[in-house]
Amino acid sequence: MLQSYFDTDNNGHKSFELPGAKPHYNPDRPGQVEHIFLDLNLDIPNQSYDGTCTIQLKPVRNGIDRLTLDAVSLNIHSVQVDATSTTYDYDGQQLQVHLANPTQTGQSIKIAIAYSVTKPQRGIYFIAPDKHYPNKPVQVWTQGEDEDSRFWFPCFDYPGQLATSEIRVRVPKPYIAISNGRLIDTEENSDYKIFHWLQEQVHPSYLMTLAVGDFAEIQDEWNGKLVTYYVEKGREEDARRSMGKTPRMVEFFSQKYGYPYAFPKYAQVCVDDFIFGGMENTSTTLLTDRCLLDERAAIDNRLTESLVAHELAHQWFGDLVVIKHWSHAWIKEGMASYSEVMWTEQEYGAEDAAYYRLLEARNYLAEDSSRYRRPIVTHVYREAIELYDRHLYEKGSCVYHMIRAELGEELFWRAIQTFVQDNAHHTVETVDLLRAIEKVTGRNLLFLFDQYVYRGGHPEFKIAYSWDSDSKLAKVTVNQTQNDLFDLKIPIAFGYAQGDVGAYSHAPLHKTFTVRVNEKEQSFYFPLEEKPQFISFDANNNYLKTVSLEYSVPELKAQLQFDPDPISRIYAAEALGKKGGLEALNALAEALKSDRFWGVKVEVAKQLAQIKLDQAFEALVVGLNDENPLVRRAVVEALSNNKTYASYKALKPIVEDGDSSYYVEAAAARAIGIIAAAKLEEKPKEEKVLKLLRSILENKAGWNEVVRSGAIAGLSQMKTSAETLDLILEYTRLGVPQALRLAAVRALGTISTGQSAANLDRILERLTELSHESFFLTQVSVVTALGQMETPKAIAILQALATQSLDGRVQRIAEETVAKVQSSAGSDQAVKQLRDEIDQLKKQNQTLMSRLESLEAKASK
């Protein structure tokens, strides 16, 4: 019972495989699809279209007399084979075409399927204004990955089939249609225009796309190829600001991957209500229009730049070199995510790249500890989309980095280039990457793949250190605290701080030894001429791992100050935060003022918030004036954990007067809500905070509703207020800008835990209504809200979503959330009261400790 509240260490990981998961294989191939031709006629006002899908297939053998195509919820009008009508069976899922003349090896046949689609639910999406959102643009766009192309045209819908493709589409004026490859023809009359696109390089069905709208077209160029940005009219400047680095990225990746950009053009189309961040359709990436930055958002939003790099990297990893089966999707998603790191390195330097990599690793680690653990490569699942998780992307990225560290710079890139060159326009599996590495370098990295790719988990290290001054020996004890032991060769460096430490470099200040770590506990002894000032375990931090550093404060202080690797400095900051005490606090305070890298300052701010001493406030508040908005944001968030009246007074001016960064303003709005809701002796009046946040809601509409969403998050903290609930409910109605509305939906979960039974029913009723909306992000927000509730009544709504949502991602998180709610709904009032009492005791203890630490500090001066 108590475990559900006081999260204890749980070695047992939940299973990735939900009930109903089973092995998935590519189907038997009747032959090679050579070409797919869609000739479509869009009726946009009626959200429908009709046309013909013609598939040219070269049979692999003689005597095949029926073909099975994927085709979901289409109206099939007729099927012809080589221009002769033929019979077929259609069950709404698969189309069986009967061949009057059985196949002959190598003799291609043409299957022409006349069909129509009305109000499609997946695959192709019609976006239109309605009475609630009269300014919404008219758009049509598609999303094939993973297995949704079958919802908009009949196909052999798995990535193992590569073919050329062609889309001819008639659209009403003034809309334009963008698709894969190059525009080979247009025709028009007074009412409509026909766009005819041809993709001459083979690619899989999931990468075929169509985007239609009244877009502005902005033209750029790389090496004589068109680079275009399509956005809603009026956002041309935002388009250049957000995507303008694309030509430089095309050059960068062409060099790195050793293969010039392979397609005739590169288009990026920003579409409304997109259900992913971006999708790398061959030569025509679709992006959510929420990635378009205005001038202020561009100050501290790097997500857009990373998104652009990620989707572009897929043009090589995914589109040029295609995965044969979803189980190997990490090959492309891992590299696209690692390409974000590479671009960060290129554009912002090594420290930014290292930090980016740490953040990626943490995303994976969070999923591993709180959701499930799985091998990166697995073909057991319910739907392929479940694989698109933090193991696939972020852990995959970390694996690529480990390969790079293992091979070294030159050999790594040669291996990657060979992999791309050898497999261009073909499909690959994980083993093909191993083969390319071995071909170029002679190295067999199966040991690394076995530990990090083919099985779940990562090493969790606990490191202790001591110095024997008589024998001048450094002793480092390494514990692997996880169950499955890892066997790795890890560099341990001893650092000396003299000399110039301003530059980001490793060698000059270190003495490095490499040791084999392969047991539960090992102690290593290193003879050194002088006592080192700090120890860098896994110098450069190339391995994916967790570490807990059990060094004494002086070593940690020196590491925080002098270790050239920002990740090591961050680990030292974490260890100091865990140690607590005034000496640790002072070291962190100094780093917040003077570390050269903003990422370390961000992490230091988090650690300062962890130290329960009143002095932490003084240390943190200085950071509100940092010139880097990312640091200011971290400090604001840290102050929301330092729940004091002083913190409130420091944050209030940011809420009232603003900050150059939207994100800082949003964080401050949230923070004052958190502090107002805390149990403090001296604190702001809730009504005053409510009034302030209400004024934000009334006056601060703006880019992507970031600031107003912050205000909603702040309001949701005032959990016992009925007035606040009314206000939040008001913002969940249709007509409220979508981003703000979604924030309000999520906030219903946060605020629910303090509300009366009657109000709880109102929240549940609202969430039930919202759960019937079909938009993906609304459903996700509903699940998020329900996941925070502590009532078993939330479970029925979740179960309905788990079975009825058309989106595999929603089904999965809804099902996972049921379990979460079941455990939190089990906790009763008595436990809550107990927790409140413990919080009070902690607070009193903090006051005493703070006084004691000050006295000691004074005494020792």
Residues forming the site for Zn ion (CB under 5 A): 333, 336
Contact of 548 with 462, CB cutoff 8 Å? yes
Nearest distance from residue 80's CB to Zn ion, in Å? 37
Q: For residues 88 and 326, which CB has a smaller minimum distance to Zn ion in the complex?
A: 326
Query: Which of 293, 329 has the CB closer to Zn ion?
Result: 329
Residues 224, 248 contacting (CB under 8 angstroms): no
> Judged by CB, which is closer to Zn ion: 157, or 333?
333
CA dihedral in degrees (293, 294, 298, 299; nearest 10)?
Answer: -150
Tokens of 324: 């044969």
In the bound state with Zn ion, the residue whose beta carbon lies nearer, of 320 and 556, is: 320
- Selection from 280, 336, 347 nearest residue 310 by Cα: 336
Return the H-helix or E-strand segment holding 41.
strand 31-43
Min separation Cβ 453 and Zn ion, Å: 18
For the CB of residue 337, give the shortest distance to Zn ion in the complex, in Å: 7
Residue in 752, 684, 765 with CA at minimum distance from that of residue 724 = 752
CB closer to Zn ion, 271 vs 711: 271
Rounded to an integer, what distance in angstroms lies between the CA atom of residue 112 and that of residue 149? Answer: 17
Residue 510, strand partner residues: 495
695 CB contacts (<8 Å, ≥6 apart)? Answer: none
Nearest distance from C-beta of residue 311 to Zn ion, angstroms: 7
By C-beta, is 178 or 331 nearer to Zn ion? 331
| Residue 253 and residue 280 in contact, taking contact as beta carbons nearer than 8 Å | no
Q: What type of residue sits at position 70?
A: D
User: Rg of the Cα trace of the chain?
Assistant: 29
Query: Least separation, in Å, of the C-beta of 310 and Zn ion?
Result: 6
Three-class SS state of 170: strand
> Tokens 């009657």 map to which residue?
758
Q: How far is the CB of 397 from Zn ion (least distance, A)?
A: 11
Spatial contact of 555 and 533, defined as CB atoms under 8 Å apart: yes
Instruction: Give CA–CA dist 618/603, Å, rounded.
Output: 17
CB of 269 to Zn ion, least distance (A): 16
Taking CB atoms, the residue at the shortest distance from Zn ion is 336
Of the CA atoms within 13 Å of residue 233, those in its CB half-sphere come to: 9
* Least distance CB 288 / Zn ion (angstroms): 13
Kindly tell me which of 333 and 538 has the beta carbon lying closer to Zn ion.
333
Angstrom distance (rounded) from CA 210 to CA 145: 13
**Min CB(276)–Zn ion separation in Å:** 8
Which of 195, 194, 108, 203 has the alpha carbon at shortest distance from 164?
Answer: 203
Cα–Cα dist 612/663, whole Å:
26
Least CB distance from residue 406 to Zn ion, whole Å?
24
Helices (H), 373-500: 396-407, 409-423, 430-441, 446-452
DSSP 783-823: HHHHHT---THHHHHHHHHHHH-S-HHHHHHHHHHHHHHHH
- Minimum distance, C-beta of residue 333 to Zn ion, in the bound complex (Å): 5
Separation between Cα atoms, residue 601 and residue 590, nearest integer Å: 10
Residue 343 amino acid letter: W
Q: For residues 166 and 333, which CB has a smaller minimum distance to Zn ion in the complex?
A: 333
Sign of CA dihedral 731, 732, 737, 740: positive
Cβ of residue 280: shortest distance to Zn ion, in angstroms? 6
- 311 or 595: CB nearest Zn ion: 311
Q: Which one, 181 or 396, has the nearer CB to Zn ion?
A: 396
Q: Strands, DSSP E only, in 297-381? A: 321-323, 380-381
Minimum distance, C-beta of residue 332 to Zn ion, in the bound complex (Å): 7
Q: Shortest gap between Cβ of 528 and Zn ion (angstroms)?
A: 46
Q: Which backbone phi and psi does 133 adopt, to 5 degrees?
A: -130, 70
Of 383 and 659, CB closest to Zn ion: 383
Could you say which DSSP state residue 483 is in?
S
* Spatial contact of 675 and 715, defined as CB atoms under 8 Å apart: no
The torsion angle over the Cα atoms of residues 638, 642, 648 and 650, rounded to 10 degrees, is -60
Looking at the Cβ atoms of 157 and 394, the one nearer to Zn ion is: 394
Q: Cβ 314 to Zn ion, closest distance in Å?
A: 6
Shortest Å, Cβ 741 to Zn ion = 27
Measured from the CB atom, the residue of 336 and 631 that comes closer to Zn ion is 336
- Phi and psi based region of residue 61 (left: phi greater than 0; alpha: psi -120 to 50; beta: remaining): beta
Residue 549 tokens read as: 């550093």
User: Rounded to an integer, what distance in angstroms lies between the CA atom of residue 804 and that of residue 792?
Assistant: 19
Beta strands in 431-584 (DSSP E): 460-468, 473-480, 488-495, 510-517, 521-527, 534-537, 546-550
Please identify, using beta-carbon distances, which residue of 287 and 576 lies nearer to Zn ion: 287
- Nearest distance in Å: CB 33, Zn ion: 24
Residue 352's nearest CA partner among 310, 396, 300, 395 is 300
| Integer Cα distance of 313 and 337 in angstroms | 9
The one-letter code for the residue type at 175 is Y
* Nearest residue (CB) to Zn ion, 322 versus 706: 322
Helix H or strand E segment including 85: strand 84-86
- 252 or 537: CB nearest Zn ion: 252
Tell me the closest approach of the beta carbon of residue 277 to Zn ion, in angstroms: 8
- Closer by beta carbon to Zn ion, 313 or else 631: 313
Q: How many CA atoms lie within 13 A of 709 on its CB side?
A: 17
Nearest to 763 by CA among 797, 800, 725: 725
User: 140 or 336: whose CB is closer to Zn ion?
Assistant: 336
